Structure 1
Amino acid sequence: MSTTSPAASLWRAPRWALAVLLAGLATLGPFSIDTYLPAFTGIAAALGATPVQMQQTLSAYLFGFALMNLFHGALSDSFGRRPVVLVGLAVFTLASAGCALAHSIGELVFWRTVQGLSAGAGMVVSRAIIRDMFAPTDAQRMMSQVTLFFGLAPAVAPLIGGVLYTYAGWPWIFWLLVLVGALLWLVNWRLLPETLTPAQRQPFAAGPLLRGYWDLLGNPRFVALVLASGIPFNGMFLYVLSAPVFLGEHLGLAPTQFFVFFVCSIGGIMAGAWWSGRLAGKIAPRVQIRWGFAIMVVVSVVNVSAHALFAPSAWWAFPLIGLFALGWSLMVPVVTLMVLDLAPERRGMASSLHSCIGSAANGLVAGVVVPLVMHSTLALALASAALMSVGLLAWRFAAQPRG
């Protein structure tokens, strides 16, 4: 470990335990999406909601997630990492109880928005914590470990959600999220170190905050790196967002079988994260990023061709999505660290803006793209390839030598 790393003084337990702790924070957002997807039809029937209204429960969550992500990191730069994480977890837990008690689609959309506003605190702040504690090569290894453990929860989330919906009813999915939020709050209250010293804290004032955001948004390389890391993710995520239609209607799977799709996609993320960690310090970061994009390009071409020529089938569709996820997770830890290192004095702010842009893209995909393309597996494949291409072009721009 680098001699400049403060990790040894802040965390005495094994590194993998820190990775599990931070992964729990990072995974809360996707976990709260994946658990309730198998219950879409049942929730709609119980609340008298249309498919479009149910899709709004996703997009409202994602837009709330994106909006508040602008502030989680900046708040942590001013008040410390721990307080922001703990307040976010407390609000998420209360919002999950509101979802469980909702009696109308309007109430559910409202509480899902509050969930989204709070769920991103852990993900945003955990990135800043990693870079606070570790030098670049060790930070890449830790980021990869977090991504590896991060994959475990979403892999089982739809299975748990399907079982709870089938045998207990859809509100119990949200009561489970209440329990998860409460447990995470307790564990982080006991174990999470404060990694930002008082001397490093920035004033939380509107003027400096707006100037900081403006400076980052005015940096073309920052914007390009954010797009390169976040937009390709939507090439896989649109399949997650359209899972009730893609898996239930196009592939004919029952809700309790949805977990097979998530095992393949999350398995790809975990494999790519493991590989990324193994490569840390062994090859140039730009080479690793090129490898990740090369995998996604090849998979996208095969995916579009297969859906154009053959009837959709889970036996080849799922592995292709898993390989796409592998390519994304191979390159994203490196790109994320590049983003944070563009603002070493305001890593929380950089992480906030990074997450906000990515989450806004997720919300647009959920609210606009998915409803347009989920009727056709070929349209889904073409949309996935198009989103990956945006990320590739952004990386090509970011990788250009600067004079």
Structure 2
Amino acid sequence: MPPRDVNSPPSGVNPPSRGVNPPPRGIALLLASLAALGPFSIDTYLPSFQDIGQSLNATPIEVQQTLSAYLLPFAIMALWHGAISDAFGRRRVILVSLALFGLALAGCLFATRIEHLWVLRALQGMSAGAGIVIGRAIVRDLYDGAQAQRLMSHITMMFALAPAIAPVIGGRLQYWFGWRSVFAFLVLMTLALLLACWRMLPETLAPERRQSLHPGYLARTYWKVLTSPAFLLACGGLAFNFAGFFIYVMSAPVFLMGHLAVPETGFLWLFGPAMAGLMSGAWLAGRFAGKLTLRQTIARGYLVMGMAALGNVGLNLWLPPSLPMSVMPIFVYTFGMSLAMPCITLLALDPFPEQRGLAASCQLFLQAGSNGLIAGILAPLLWGSTLTLAYGMGVLLLLGATSSWLHYWLTGDKSRTQAMTRPPV
């Protein structure tokens, strides 16, 4: 065996592009913060809906439309953030997106009509998805193998933490200072993140590796990604697995207040165990990196999710809805889901090493579309009882497991199972 070149990168690290400095020590926290910014900006202002309506003379439906105005541009632009970063570089697009996001947030401070908030929230939605899309591409630009899995796990942990703490912070700010203080806090947070990215975020895509924005090239590339069976199956596994949990999120008022008789202040009964499961599963996925292959980690995640789904159905068949029994399966399910999620995400991006940004965009777009269908159609069909929700979790998990099994059958050992060995010291 020829000796390893001392100038080559260690196993698990992609060769850096020319002119790219080594990533800073805080890159995991930085990318995780970028990924969490979008969901954080949604959940933080939810406790202020009533105050916004009173202040701007808006109906509850009109205030609710500020959320719709955010989510629709978010889903549409999710298709484009990656392609734009493939053409102009990761760092530049991140900085511009954060600046636009912060300016739109600042505009919310001075809104005097609900229509102003609609427009400003739409601008925020256009730029919010850049962090999570480009962050995933940066992970694959920088790292391979176990190190990529560890970094993706850290991002998943931070992403899971945001929905748990955002309403708490927003509720306190609303109670003390009113709804405009929530947007002032988000402006300061975005400014701090912009400065951190300016100082710390490296450019991970060298000029010679950048892609064209020519319409013909983009059409061919989008077609290539969105017709790839391996990509669609990996995205299907992610979407169906998440849907098994998301039906509870979208059914939370009925599930908690209707079936479990929890007061309006008791939503932590659902989101507390769920976020604990998401964070602990992602942490364990990082610990497994370098010790287990991607496939082995995914299999363990499905085993845990399967036990949770079966236990959920059994509990609801034999026992009346009650706390804490009705939320225990959700903790176990989210633990298994986040154990498998970082690995499946890597498998989805791996077939497109030259178009990772665009592939990450397509992945987020498909996930956002799935979430929209669940929110509008599936959750209302299932929230009639805790048993139908449990059946829904089981069926969606079965679809996710089938997608992942078909992905394995299609790709076999070609999907980097050999790349997860521990890097040599």
Structure 1 residue runs without a partner (length 5+) = none
For the residues of structure 1 that align with 2:163 and 2:337, how far apart are their CA atoms?
16
Residue 152 of structure 1 and its aligned partner are, at CA, apart by: 3.3
For the residues of structure 2 that align with 1:153 and 1:278, how far apart are their CA atoms?
22
For residues 215-294 of structure 1, the aligned pairs below 5 Å read: 215-253=224-262, 257-259=266-268, 261-294=270-303
For residues 3-402 of structure 1, the aligned pairs below 5 Å read: 5-6=14-15, 10-11=21-22, 13-14=24-25, 17-40=26-49, 43=52, 47-50=57-60, 56-102=65-111, 106-253=115-262, 257-259=266-268, 261-307=270-316, 309-374=318-383, 376-401=385-410
Opposite residue 213 of structure 2, the aligned amino acid is F
Residue 306 of structure 1 and its aligned partner are, at CA, apart by: 3.2
Residue 291 of structure 1 and its aligned partner are, at CA, apart by: 1.7
Residue 298 of structure 1 and its aligned partner are, at CA, apart by: 2.2
Residue 377 of structure 1 and its aligned partner are, at CA, apart by: 3.9
CA offset digits 1:101-132 (Å, max 9, x no partner): 55555544443333222111010001111111
Look up the SS of the partner of 1:204 in the other structure: coil
Residues 65, 118 of structure 1: 8 Å contact kept: yes
Give the helix-richer structure, 1 or 2.
1
Residue 75 of structure 1 and its aligned partner are, at CA, apart by: 0.5
Residues 19, 145 of structure 1: 8 Å contact kept: yes
Residues 66, 121 of structure 2: 8 Å contact kept: yes
For the residues of structure 2 that align with 1:50 and 1:376, how far apart are their CA atoms?
27
Residues 243, 396 of structure 2: 8 Å contact kept: yes
RMSD: 2.8
Residue 358 of structure 1 and its aligned partner are, at CA, apart by: 0.7
Residues 159, 258 of structure 1: 8 Å contact kept: no
Opposite residue 371 of structure 2, the aligned amino acid is N
Number of aligned residues: 400
Opposite residue 49 of structure 1, the aligned amino acid is T
Q: Which entry has the higher C-alpha Rg, 1 or 2?
A: 2
For the residues of structure 2 that align with 1:88 and 1:372, how far apart are their CA atoms?
37
Structure 2 residue runs without a partner (length 5+) = 1-9, 413-425
Residue 134 of structure 1 and its aligned partner are, at CA, apart by: 0.9
Residue 143 of structure 1 and its aligned partner are, at CA, apart by: 0.9
For the residues of structure 1 that align with 2:22 and 2:163, how far apart are their CA atoms?
26
For the residues of structure 2 that align with 1:339 and 1:360, how far apart are their CA atoms?
17
For the residues of structure 1 that align with 2:63 and 2:193, how far apart are their CA atoms?
28
Distance 1:383-1:170 versus aligned 2 partners, 3 A rule: farther
Residues 12, 146 of structure 2: 8 Å contact kept: no
Residues 102, 191 of structure 2: 8 Å contact kept: yes
Percent sequence identity is 44
For the residues of structure 1 that align with 2:330 and 2:87, how far apart are their CA atoms?
40
Opposite residue 290 of structure 1, the aligned amino acid is A
For the residues of structure 1 that align with 2:112 and 2:299, how far apart are their CA atoms?
49
TM-score (norm: length of structure 1): 0.88
For the residues of structure 2 that align with 1:208 and 1:214, how far apart are their CA atoms?
10
Residue 19 of structure 1 and its aligned partner are, at CA, apart by: 0.7
Residues 49, 105 of structure 1: 8 Å contact kept: no
Residues 230, 410 of structure 2: 8 Å contact kept: no
Residues 158, 262 of structure 1: 8 Å contact kept: no
Distance 1:190-1:253 versus aligned 2 partners, 3 A rule: farther
CA offset digits 1:273-331 (Å, max 9, x no partner): 11111111222322221221222222123224434554433423333222211111111
Distance 1:83-1:313 versus aligned 2 partners, 3 A rule: farther
Residues 234, 362 of structure 1: 8 Å contact kept: yes
Distance 1:353-1:317 versus aligned 2 partners, 3 A rule: same
Residue 254 of structure 1 and its aligned partner are, at CA, apart by: 5.2
CA offset digits 1:338-392 (Å, max 9, x no partner): 1111101111111111111111112222333344545644444444334333322
Which segment drifts farther, 179-188 or 294-303? 294-303
CA offset digits 1:20-66 (Å, max 9, x no partner): 01100011122122223344555556654346x66554444333222
Residue 257 of structure 1 and its aligned partner are, at CA, apart by: 4.4
Distance 1:330-1:174 versus aligned 2 partners, 3 A rule: same
